[in-house]
């Protein structure tokens, strides 16, 4: 039995952190589902930027949509929904067999809305309605403006993947927004079963502090943050507040490990996948990390519900001068800015290609 299957049998969902048209048309995604136990997929603006910029597989679709008068952002969302609904179809049997717990794909609202609560709510509702896809999450960042948007989207019945979470406090804010949305649905006599995941970014922590800490602490902060958050998630599910919601038919907001590809070339390429094995969680990983883990990864045990030695490790970072709360805010700002840049670059590529096609038509 390969390592990916062992993780699956442990109770952790393996999702691919990538989407390209070639991934779909080549049959590679189907192979990952069959051979590596992949049960879902995530996307973000950077992934789509790379997919469209570095491949000619979108050229025909961009040409047709541009000649039909589609603008850059509208054109992009049509491309993205084409890809993601096709992927969602591959995961639909898993979605059904898992009683809608697994088998999801994700599409992000425009990162330019990160500080716009009303705009995010409107975009989430509109994308959800357009997709008409039962296993599509709408990704909303867990920023200050995103948190109330998450509550409203959940209340509206929109499944949400909360993205750009970097700390236990970020996670708790997202979880409470999710619960408020569910509580409001129950009070309004609406179905409380609205799915959500909360995506905690891991490896970016270690890249962020790499030059600031001694060698003994390298590549340990992201995992410690994740372990602290795992304990908080387990405590939340045992709380009277959640137990009341569960008794009414609500489903848990699952914790998702994001950014689990190793960034340090001197560290193991399966460092974060091996360290974060845990039942009832999701690990969404880049193709390289998935392939590496399938090839030589090992399931060495599961995370402890009590957080293990997370607080001891975090205290060491504090003594080394790392303020985790300040760093988490910085990482979230950086992540938001990076996605916004990718978004602008993505639209610029689409606009450039579209202009070439429409100019050619006129001549």
Question: pLDDT tens across 67-110, in order?
Answer: 998 888 999 999 999 999 999 999 999 999 999 999 999 999 99
d(CA 110, CA 124): 10
Place of tokens 């442990």: 10
> 297: Cβ–Cβ under 8 A, 6 or more apart, which residues?
3, 4, 270, 273, 274
- What is the pLDDT of the chain when averaged over all its residues? 96
Look at residues 117, 124, 246, 254 and name the one whose alpha carbon lies nearest to residue 186.
246
Q: Residue 124: which pLDDT band, with cuts at 50, 70 and 90?
A: very high
Mean pLDDT of 155-173: 98
Q: With 80 as the cut, is the pLDDT of residue 356 above it?
A: no
Provide the terminal-to-terminal Cα distance of the chain, rounded to the nearest Å: 59
**What's residue 363's pLDDT?**
52
Largest CA distance in the chain: 68
Q: Are strands 13-17 and 160-165 parallel, antiparallel or unpaired?
A: unpaired
- CA neighbours within 13 Å on the CB side: how many for 359? 6
Q: For a pLDDT cut of 70, what percent of the chain falls above it?
A: 98
Q: Quick count: other Cβ atoms within 10 Å of Cβ 144? A: 13
For the chain, the domains span 3-354
**pLDDT, tens only, 326-344:** 999 999 999 999 999 999 9
Specify the fold of 3-354. TIM Barrel (3.20.20)
**What's residue 247's pLDDT?**
98
**What's residue 359's pLDDT?**
62
d(CA 86, CA 235): 37
CA 287 to chain centre: 15
Mean pLDDT of 45-71: 90
**What's residue 361's pLDDT?**
61
Element (DSSP H or E) covering residue 292: helix 287-296
Q: Residue 36: which pLDDT band, with cuts at 50, 70 and 90?
A: very high
Q: With 60 as the cut, is the pLDDT of residue 362 above it?
A: no
**pLDDT, tens only, 132-153:** 999 999 999 999 999 999 999 9
Mean pLDDT of 26-32: 97
Mean pLDDT of 216-225: 98
**What's residue 231's pLDDT?**
98
Mean pLDDT of 190-211: 98
Q: Is 282 left (phi over 0), alpha (psi -120 to 50) or beta?
A: beta
Which of 48-62, 143-157, 250-264 shows the lowest mean pLDDT across its residues? Answer: 48-62
**What's residue 71's pLDDT?**
81
> Is 139 designated active site?
yes
> 51: Cβ–Cβ under 8 A, 6 or more apart, which residues?
19, 20, 21, 58
Q: With 60 as the cut, is the pLDDT of residue 320 above it?
A: yes
**pLDDT, tens only, 277-297:** 999 999 999 999 999 999 999
**What's residue 265's pLDDT?**
95
Look at residues 183, 168, 171 and name the one whose alpha carbon lies nearest to residue 142.
171
d(CA 331, CA 109): 19
Q: Residue 355: which pLDDT band, with cuts at 50, 70 and 90?
A: confident
Which of 65, 70, 139, 231 is catalytic? The answer is: 139
């Amino acid at each position: 039995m390969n390592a990916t299957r062992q993780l699956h049998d442990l109770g952790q969902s393996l999702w691919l952190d990538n989407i390209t048209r070639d991934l779909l048309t080549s049959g590679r995604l189907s192979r990952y589902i069959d051979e590596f136990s992949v049960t879902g997929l995530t996307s973000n603006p950077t992934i789509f930027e790379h997919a469209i910029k570095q491949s000619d597989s979108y050229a025909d679709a961009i040409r047709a949509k541009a000649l039909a008068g589609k603008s850059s952002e509208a054109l992009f969302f049509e491309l993205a929904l084409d890809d993601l609904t096709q992927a969602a179809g591959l995961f639909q049997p898993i979605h059904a067999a898992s009683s809608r717990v697994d088998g999801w794909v994700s599409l992000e609202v425009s990162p330019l809305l990160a500080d716009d609560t009303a705009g995010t709510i409107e975009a989430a509702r509109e994308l959800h309605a357009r997709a008409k896809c039962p296993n599509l999450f709408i990704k909303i960042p867990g920023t200050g403006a995103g948190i109330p948007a998450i509550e409203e989207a959940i209340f509206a019945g929109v499944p949400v993947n909360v993205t750009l979470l970097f700390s236990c406090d970020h996670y708790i804010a997202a979880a409470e927004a999710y619960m408020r949305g569910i509580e409001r649905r129950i009070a309004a006599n609406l179905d409380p079963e609205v799915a959500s995941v909360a995506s905690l970014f891991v490896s970016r922590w270690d890249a962020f502090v790499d030059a600031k800490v001694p060698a003994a602490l390298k590549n340990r902060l992201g995992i410690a943050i994740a372990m602290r958050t795992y304990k908080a998630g387990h405590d939340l599910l045992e709380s009277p507040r959640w137990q009341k919601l569960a008794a009414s038919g609500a489903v848990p907001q699952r914790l998702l490990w994001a950014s689990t590809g190793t960034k340090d070339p001197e560290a193991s390429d399966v460092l974060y996948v091996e360290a974060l094995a845990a039942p009832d969680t999701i690990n969404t990983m880049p193709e390289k990390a998935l392939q590496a883990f399938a090839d030589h990864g090992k399931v060495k045990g599961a995370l402890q519900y009590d957080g293990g030695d997370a607080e001891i490790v975090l205290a060491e970072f504090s003594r080394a001068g790392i303020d985790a709360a300040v760093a988490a805010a910085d990482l979230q700002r950086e992540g938001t800015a990076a996605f916004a840049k990718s978004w602008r670059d993505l639209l610029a590529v689409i606009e450039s290609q579209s202009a070439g096609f429409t100019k050619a038509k006129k001549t």
